[in-house]
């Protein structure tokens, strides 16, 4: 695969300090909130193995070295150097950073500096709405304050992001709420809310989706697996079918993130709806040696102009490198196989690699070089 343009279309900050110890590192290698099975560690997963495979050499260790050696070397080098090395090695040419996650994380500008590549911001809708409510808990003012915040965000961000899948599930009424519904829902939510309180009201979640849809920016939506906060069937992207149809006239482009194990359904939506795109972001790193197989499934129905690359990296800079290598190595092997057996022409493989790696994202988000 000759493409050298890699646009990470969905990622997050990494920890400024740390992780503090082995257990902390392990906790960032899993979507679980709990210890691993007795006698094993969170390194005992496809993601854990993939970290040892891809990251160890970048820290001057042999690939697949033992976890303890890896963590010792990591401490020796220090977080800033490890972060810089791993982010550079990821070979990203642009980062689109969802800044809505908590923690003492590097900012997009700091990530850009470490990666040696420009970073742009994605605004997480629920975090935005919660910040509006924190600043001004007046329910009557909330709709206007929120509209202002969305408009302001749209001036600098490249996309919005929804985690409605976590907060309620994707089985939402597909239509925009009326003004009266919105006011009632805001009143209800803000009546007993304390600062930092989560937005889980389905009317407000829908309103956020529609606010983003009407902003002109692409709207990324978490679908598929994630942490245990999620009921997986409620995150099936096919639950968005009616919303996909309803939102089409606004011109909004929808990006289905992650999607696993529903990535084939996501591919169908991308195939038949002109405004639907998909990635298998989070999935790539978490499935490690199997990421090629998952990517192959995503490449069944998804048109080649609709599939995107992302790492969904968060917390650990390792996740940037693992996501990037899983994608480039996995896609490279797939395409080589198809060229070798005569299914595809070499020039087609190169062109599709360039579209998936960066071209589709540049076009979708209006990035330089599109």
Selected from 162, 223, 287, 324, the binder of a copy of itself by CB under 8 A is 287
Taking CB under 8 A as the rule, does residue 79 contact a copy of itself? no
Nearer Cβ to a copy of itself (92/294): 294
Distance CA 208, CA 226 (A): 21
What is the smallest separation between the CB atom of 111 and a copy of itself, expressed in angstroms?
27
Question: Judged by CB under 8 A, which of 20, 33, 191, 368 binds a copy of itself?
Answer: 33
Using CB under 8 A as the binding criterion, the count of chain residues that bind a copy of itself stands at: 72
Give yes or no for residue 343 binding a copy of itself (CB under 8 A).
yes
Q: Is residue 350 a contact residue for a copy of itself (CB under 8 A)? A: no
3-class secondary-structure state, position 173: coil
Q: What is the DSSP string of 201-251?
A: -HHHHHHHHHHHHTTSS-EEEEES--STTS-GGGG-GGGGHHHHHHHGGGT
8 Å CB contact between 157 and 122 = yes
Residue 27 binds a copy of itself, judged by CB under 8 A: no
Is 205 or 364 the residue whose CB approaches a copy of itself more closely? 364
- Is residue 192 at the binding interface for a copy of itself, with CB under 8 A as the rule? no
For position 305 contacting a copy of itself by CB under 8 A, the verdict is yes
Token pair 């193995």 in the structure block, residue: 49
Which of the stretches 7-15, 73-81, 137-145, 298-306 binds a copy of itself when contact is defined by CB under 8 A?
A: 298-306
- Three-class DSSP category at 273: coil
Q: How far is the CB of 51 from a copy of itself (least distance, A)?
A: 12
| Nearest distance, CB of residue 139 and a copy of itself, angstroms | 31
d(CA 258, CA 284) in angstroms, rounded, equals 9
Q: Is 25 in the site for a copy of itself (CB under 8 A)?
A: no
How crowded is the C-beta side of 69, counted as CA atoms within 13 Å? Answer: 14
State in angstroms the smallest separation of the CB of 128 from a copy of itself: 27
Residues numbered 206 to 225 that lie near a copy of itself (CB under 8 A) are 225
Assess contact for 247 and 254: CB atoms under 8 A: yes
Segment near a copy of itself (CB under 8 A); pick from 28-36, 86-94, 161-169, 179-187 = 28-36
> Is residue 92 involved in binding a copy of itself (CB under 8 A)?
no
| Contact residue for a copy of itself among 179, 196, 261, 369 (CB under 8 A) | 261
The strand pairing partners of 96, in sequence order, are 120
Contact in structure between 167 and 237 (CB atoms under 8 Å) = no
CA 215-218-221 angle, 5° bins: 110
Whichever of 52 and 120 has its CB closer to a copy of itself, that residue is 52
Kindly give the pairing relationship between strand 219-223 and strand 94-98: unpaired
72 scored as a contact of a copy of itself (CB under 8 A): no
Backbone angles phi, psi at 162, to 5 degrees: -115, 135
> By rule CB under 8 A, what string of x and - marks binding of each residue 34-63 to a copy of itself?
xxxxxxx-x-xxx--xx-xx---------x
> With contact defined as beta carbons under 8 Å apart, do 278 and 255 qualify?
yes
CA nearest to 186, candidates 170, 212, 167, 207? 207
Location of structure tokens 């925009």: 176
Asked whether 255 and 277 are in contact (CB, 8 A), the reply is yes
Binding to a copy of itself by residue 249, rule CB under 8 A?
Answer: no
CB-facing half-sphere around the CA of 327: CA atoms within 13 A: 35
Region near a copy of itself per CB under 8 A, out of 69-77, 202-210, 260-268, 315-323: 260-268
- Regarding 324 and contact with a copy of itself (CB under 8 A), the answer is no
* Residue 64 interacts with a copy of itself (CB under 8 A): yes or no: yes
Near a copy of itself by CB under 8 A: residue from 303, 332, 336, 350: 303
């Amino acid at each position: 695969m000759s493409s050298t343009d890699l646009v990470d279309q969905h990622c997050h900050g990494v920890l400024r300090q740390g992780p503090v110890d082995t257990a902390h590192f392990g906790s960032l290698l899993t979507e679980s909130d709990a210890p691993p099975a007795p006698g094993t560690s969170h390194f005992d997963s496809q993601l854990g193995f993939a970290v040892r495979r891809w990251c160890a050499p970048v820290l001057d260790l042999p690939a697949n070295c033992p976890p303890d050696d890896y963590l010792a070397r990591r401490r020796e080098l220090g977080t800033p150097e490890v972060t810089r090395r791993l982010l550079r090695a990821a070979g990203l040419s642009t980062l689109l950073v969802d800044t809505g996650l908590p923690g003492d994380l590097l900012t997009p500008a700091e990530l850009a500096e470490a990666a040696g590549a420009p970073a742009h911001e994605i605004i997480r809708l629920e975090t935005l709405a919660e910040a509006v409510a924190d600043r001004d808990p007046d329910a009557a003012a909330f709709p206007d304050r929120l509209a202002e915040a969305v408009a302001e965000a749209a001036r600098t961000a490249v996309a919005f992001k929804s985690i409605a899948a976590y907060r309620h599930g994707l089985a939402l009424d597909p239509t925009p709420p009326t003004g009266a519904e919105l006011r009632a829902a805001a009143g209800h939510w803000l009546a007993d809310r304390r600062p930092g309180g989560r937005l889980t009201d389905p009317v407000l979640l829908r309103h956020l989706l529609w606010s983003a849809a009407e902003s002109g920016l692409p709207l990324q939506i978490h679908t598929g697996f994630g942490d245990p906060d999620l009921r997986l069937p409620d995150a099936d992207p096919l639950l968005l079918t009616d919303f996909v149809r309803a939102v089409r006239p606004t011109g909004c482009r929808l990006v289905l993130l992650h999607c696993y194990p529903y990535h084939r359904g996501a591919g169908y939506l991308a195939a038949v709806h002109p405004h639907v795109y998909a990635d298998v972001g989070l999935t790539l790193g978490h499935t490690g040696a199997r990421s090629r197989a998952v990517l192959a499934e995503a490449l069944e129905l998804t048109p080649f102009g609709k599939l995107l690359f992302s790492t969904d990296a968060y917390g650990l800079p390792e996740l940037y490198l693992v996501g990037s290598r899983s994608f480039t190595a996995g896609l490279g092997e797939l395409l080589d196989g198809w060229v070798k057996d005569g299914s595809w022409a070499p020039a087609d493989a190169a062109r599709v690699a360039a579209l998936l790696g960066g071209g589709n994202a540049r076009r979708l988000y209006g990035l330089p070089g599109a």
